[in-house]
Structure 1
Amino acid sequence: MNSARPFAYSGKDSILCCDGVQLDRLAKKFGTPLYVYSAEQIAGRLKLFQESFAEIPHLICYAVKANSALAILKLLDAQGAGFDIVSGGELERVLAVNRAAAARVVFSGVGKTAAEMDAALRAGILLFNVESEGELELLAERASKQRKRARVSLRVNPDVFAETHPYISTGLREHKFGIDIRRARRVYREAAKAKYLDARGVSVHIGSQIRSAEPFGAAAERVAGLIRDLRRDGHTIEFLDAGGGLGIEYHLSLSGDDASGAHSFDPKEKVTQYAAAVKKAVEGVSDVTLLLEPGRFLVAQAGALVTRVLYVKKNGEKVFVIADAAMNDLIRPALYQAHHEIVPVTRTKSKKRVVADFVGPVCESGDFFARDREMPALKSGDLAVILDAGAYGMPLSSNYNSRPRPAEVLIERGRARLIRRRETMQDLLAPETL
């Protein structure tokens, strides 16, 4: 599946659809705000990765943090995906889908607790991506207590710059992630002394929303060199974890052309370029299994947030379109100043457009989805869609202002399935006591 998005207007009545299912009908049945995802596109994006690396040993480990909905994890598990987790909670989600999938789990993250390590050891995960010497010591202690061998991979920091938002760049020495690659051989020597640790891999991750293949190739090349050194030191290294981070293009119109006139976006071409860069970097390393951890690339463009316009107001010359979705439902614009295309569910013949801020009802000036954006004129009651919201939308949502979180719907083979009901006030109040 090469199209950038599964969302398109139907030719007959100009209603926006997801895989042929009209979004106005979903809004009527399930209410708004509402997350809608395409199962076909998610599976298709995973297949692009699997096919691009088919000639070499590999495992595509979906980054659960991008979207941890159980139905999406189940969909990917059925297609043979592994999982990259960063918490004990994400491990429990994978195990809820399929306990046997633990054998395809890599555990990343800088702050693993003893309890999380214990749970991962009991589950029998594939690999711990260790990010500090202190973590390595604690893991050795927990593995010894359970008398279970822990397969480990050090996450090294290659000091490779990737052009992305500073909050999601992770490959430089000043970031909190990983171990300086220049110290790695010494740390591996220490790991080899621990009875219940098996150093089996090397891991790297340089950031997220990276749209060029070159940084991935540069990082993988440095890790490949380290693997050759480690093997000469006597370590049995069988995994090269190249991380994730391949980005998408958020500035696309629904026709596939870039809204700013810059670029189109071909998912297959992007994955092909990425695979070529990584494979070239590791071609001199024999008997290694590549672990790859895409997240955003698989789910972002497969999802959208449907919202209803509450009011349109003017303050002087300033126009505000106030919707029922808010920053607590999708925080990316407020947190990263991220761009999301916003389109009406019903496309009319009117050519009237307006420059407006598209905002939510939360009591914060940062509660916006677009500022000074030219868009079709909308009125109270209209439905609009915030595109490319399938990644880091629902997982980053909150109950700020005591707002229940949205429902989620998955479109499978032309049918809509509720995969998470809308929260109620009873859900929000249940953990509290008076």
Structure 2
Amino acid sequence: MTSAASDPTFHRLLATHPNLHYDNKQGLMMDGTALAPLAEHYGTPSWVISADTLRQRAHNMQAAFKERGLSMGYHFAVKAQDHQACLSVLAQCGFGADVVSGGELKRALTAGMKARHIVFSGIGKTDDELTYAIQQNIGQINIESIEELTRINHLAETLQQRVRVAFRVNPDIDAQTHSKITTGRAEDKFGIAYNLIPALYRRTQQEMKGVELVGLAVHLGSQMLAEAPFRKGYERIAELVKTLRADGLSVTDIDCGGGLGIAYRGEDAPPPALWAKVIAETLGGLDVHLHIEPGRWLAAPAGVLLARVINVKEAARRFVIIDAGMNDLVRPAMYDSWHGILPLHAPPTDTLEERVDVVGPICESSDIFARQRTLPPLKKGDLIALLDAGAYGTVMSSTYNSRPFAAQIMISNGQEAVIRKRQTLDELLAQDVVPSWLARP
């Protein structure tokens, strides 16, 4: 986490989040719904996700590609936000799913996403997961290794089916993002090395009867904020398509992956229009079916995490201790990620701000949401919102320190509903089974 000097101001945060504004009486509003009453009624910590923001961003992304004359397949990256209510919203917008486990595949299907609109990625697909995907006749499986290709071909032949696959290419491109979320370098665990593709492609199309190899896939990383890596990666894919076709091989589909970043901290984040422009200029003339796998860009701004101040501790620093912890939102502890923080009640205009560390209750030194953040004065009982928490928030939550899962609430057009109730301590403890042969004290 970087210094407070470059943090966006209170007013700048609002300006960069058009779905948020302050009402003089009700405080912080998200798409017309006051957040403080939700925190009071449902308790804290609580996640709030706006179906309206999710829906609007989905339409905005589709419009950007339509303006470029591109007919795209849209597959939401379920790893970013896997709740069936959110998946249902996106399915209604015409999105399919990009899944990385059998569990995510089941979630997508249960939420109403069509099997033919689902792509299965990930390096560790088990035989059971692959069998399930083949039996469901999903749209495509992205092959991550030669070994996986052999396994899936054998499974498909055993099931007497033929499955559509694409080779995920590792183009050895640095995505210029955090090292823990870049996926397209040679040393990363993802994909098949670029130079191995031509020979493997020919052998697969000529010899393997259980798979229908339709094309290539690439995913360079997450939270990408620069045009250059996208362009460089797609140019390499375009070169590879031309090489394969020159060898008489058929390439009909390109999965362009995802990774488009957002402005958590006021960064100069590229809009979908730029992504569409790069894809159009590098891959648009190849006469292939194009697919993308957005996740964070769609979901992150649609969600906030509500929390209450437990205490304010005066020590070497001023610590604002809240009831949400790294068990709820782990991104700051894991990636040093920055999330905007706003009080739910607007401070007076003449309020003097102060620098504080905003920390959680977990017994780990890494349970910190903000270091020396400039905020309006906060006291015990005050409510805050951590912004841009709709992606990689709830999906990465845990019950560390025996803290039950927080409630999740969806809002839309003035309506609200609990989409996952708060876990009780009794429900958490009920997951434990003590062997009958173990005597209790």
- The corresponding residue for 2:165 is 152
Q: Distance in 2 between matches of 1:194 and 1:289?
A: 23
Tell whether the 8 Å contact from 1:64 to 1:295 is kept in structure 2 after alignment: yes
Counterpart residue type for residue 278 of structure 1: I
What does 1:1-400 align with in structure 2 at a 5 Å threshold?
4-5=16-17, 7-13=19-25, 15-54=27-66, 55-98=69-112, 101-192=114-205, 193-251=207-265, 258=266, 270-286=271-287, 288-315=288-315, 317-349=316-348, 351-400=351-400
Letter in 2 for 1:19: D
The DSSP-based 3-state class of the residue aligned with 1:10 is strand
* Aligned-partner Cα distance in 2 for 1:360–1:293: 33
**1: CA distance between counterparts of 2:195 and 2:181?**
23
Contact kept in structure 2, 1:49 and 1:60, CA below 8 Å = no
For residues 403 and 232 of structure 1, the distance between their equivalents in structure 2, rounded to whole angstroms, comes to 58
CA distance in 2, matches of 1:31, 1:145: 52
- Displacement of 1:411 in angstroms is 1.2
Corresponding residue for residue 439 of structure 2: none
Query: Once the 2 structures are TM-superposed, how far is the Cα of residue 352 of structure 1 from its aligned partner?
Result: 2.7
Partner-residue secondary structure (3-state), 1:217: helix
Please say if residues 10 and 20 of structure 1, whose CA atoms lie closer than 8 Å, have aligned partners that are also in contact.
Answer: no
Instruction: Identify unmatched segments of 5+ residues in structure 2.
Output: 1-14, 435-441
Q: Is the 8 A contact 1:355 1:373 kept in 2?
A: yes
Number of residue pairs matched by the alignment: 416
User: How has the CA–CA distance of structure 1 residues 207 and 37 changed in structure 2, closer, same or farther, with 3 Å as cutoff?
Assistant: same
Shift of 1:432: 2.1
TM-score by length of 2: 0.91
> Cα distance, 1:212 vs. partner?
1.6
DSSP 3-state at the match of 1:53: helix
Q: Secondary structure at the match of 1:29?
A: helix
Instruction: Report the identity percentage.
Output: 41
Counterpart of 2:188, as a letter, is H
Would you identify which runs of 4 or more consecutive aligned residues in structure 1 move more than 6 Å? Answer: none
Partner deviation per Cα, 1:83-127 (whole Å, 9 max, x = no partner): 1000000001011112x6111000000111000001101111111
Partner SS, residue 300 of structure 1? helix
- Letter of the 1:328 partner, please give it: N
Matched residue type, 1:344:
P
- Tell me if structure 2 keeps the 8 A contact 1:73–1:94: yes
For residues 111 and 18 of structure 2, the distance between their equivalents in structure 1, rounded to whole angstroms, comes to: 25
- The TM-score normalised by the length of structure 1 is 0.93
Alpha-carbon offset, residue 233 of structure 1: 2.8
Q: Separation in 1 of the partners of 2:23 and 2:431?
A: 48
- Give the Cα–Cα distance (whole angstroms) in 2 for the partners of residues 82 and 385 of structure 1: 30
Residues 281-302 of structure 1: per-residue CA shift (max 9 Å, x gap)? 013311x111100100001011
> 1:222 is matched by which residue type in structure 2?
R
Give the letter aligned to residue 5 of structure 1: H
Q: Quick one: distance in 2 between partners of 1:16 and 1:319?
A: 24
Contact 2:70–2:284, Cα closer than 8 Å, also in 1:
no
Q: Greater shift after overlay, 347-356 or 203-212?
A: 347-356
Q: How far apart in 1 are the matches of 2:268 and 2:347?
A: 25
Q: Which runs of 5+ in 1 are unaligned?
A: 252-257
